[in-house]
A and B are shown apart, each in its own frame.
Chain A
């Protein structure tokens, strides 16, 4: 299992899913009508490191964070 958390304005509780790549996480999230609209704008971190490859391999216990568009200052 891996954990997916949703940061900032997404406002959704973390979920646990069975997935071995980010592609599989993507398929699961696309089927959720509350979360799907956020996917286009979100960057992704795995265990607090930004990831830019869809084929990134996940391991048991990984934490995936979805980061919507930012605006500090």
Chain B
């Protein structure tokens, strides 16, 4: 798991991952790139991350992927990420494509729902919490 200040260098990350694992006899390498869209007048999105819990979440996914002979990879941006650049990339390597195709979908969807990351719209230089687009984590409300 890799965290970077600002936009991700997608080409460098993907080529590094490929170089790391291409001799390990995986038949499929399926990358996913999340790109900041221009909508609702934003200049950028901005992110806060709680790294200890994100790492724990990611390690569970590493274990789940390992059971199927696969590996998962991810990188995410911290701070401001301008529109039309990437804030999030992930990938799955697996011996056969069907496992990787299935895992990449489950991995990305679980990431959206459960990774401890907070998103803000950036408008006129101000950060506005994207509350309407956010999802309560498992167990939310136990202190209410």
Contact = CB atoms under 8 A, between A and B. Distances in A.
Contacts, number: 109
B53 A48 contact: yes
Interface residues of B, number: 36
Contacts of B52: 48
B61 interface: no
A contact residues, range: 20 to 34
Interface stretch (B11-19, B65-73, B95-103, B117-125): B117-125
B-side interface mostly: mixed
A70 to B, nearest CB: 6
B140 A42 contact: yes
Contacts of B140: 40-43, 67, 69
A32 B108 CA distance: 36
Contact of A51 (B108, B116, B136, B142): B142
B25 interface: no
A53 B93 CA distance: 37
Interface string A38-63: 01111111001111111000000000
Contacts of A52: 138-139, 142
B6 to A, nearest CB: 16
Contacts of A49: 56
A73 B112 contact: yes
Interface string B28-66: 000000100000000000011010110010000000000
A-side interface mostly: mixed
Contact of B134 (A48, A53, A66, A69): A69
Contact of A45 (B53, B131, B134, B141): B53
Given A45-B53, A48-B53, A50-B138, A71 B118 contact: yes
A44 B138 CA distance: 9
14 contacts: A8-B118, A26-B144, A30-B143, A30-B144, A39-B141, A40-B144, A43-B140, A44-B139, A50-B139, A51-B139, A66-B143, A70-B114, A71-B112, A72-B112
Interface of A: 7-9, 22, 25-26, 29-30, 39-45, 48-54, 65-73
